[in-house]
Amino acid sequence: MTRILVVDDHASARRSIRALLEAAGYDVVGEAADGRSAVQQARDLLPDVVLLDIQLPDMNGFEVAARLAENGRRPRVVLTSSRAAEDYGELIDEAPAEGFLAKDELTGEALAELLTS
């Protein structure tokens, strides 16, 4: 079962995403509300995937992804946002991540498809 860390500064969003992913058969191993705790939890929990919201209070998702890439065992990162991909342009392509899923497109199938592509 794929182990996932959900990073989002809105509690309601974290709650909804956890329910959606768990219903789709993922193992949500942890939640983080900001970039620092996301990096820390990734180090501690060693998730397979980090579902990473781009807009965070202390640093943005691209910076968090870069930090995660420095880890010895780096998790696969999927960027997400309530904004659309075109709002971020090339930043998404250049980030050390598997790809981007807008929150309104997030489903278990969409995530699986992105991770297997």
Task: Report DSSP letters for 8-77, one per residue.
Answer: -S-HHHHHHHHHHHHHTT-EEEEEESSHHHHHHHHHHH--SEEEEES--SSS-HHHHHHHHHTSSSPPEE
Q: Does residue 40 belong to the site contacting another protein (CB under 8 A)?
A: no
Stretch that binds another protein, among 7-15, 33-41, 60-68, 93-101 (CB under 8 A): 7-15
**Beta bridge mates, 30:** 5
From 43, 82, 85, 112, residue interacting with another protein (rule: CB under 8 A)? 82
Among 4, 24, 27, 90, binds another protein (CB under 8 A): 24
Q: Determine the interface stretch with another protein among 29-37, 41-49, 62-70, 99-107 (rule: CB under 8 A).
A: 99-107
Alpha-carbon distance of 30 to 85, in angstroms, equals 25
Per rule CB under 8 A, is residue 10 in the interface with another protein? Answer: yes
Binding mask 52-71 for another protein (x = CB under 8 A): ---x----------------
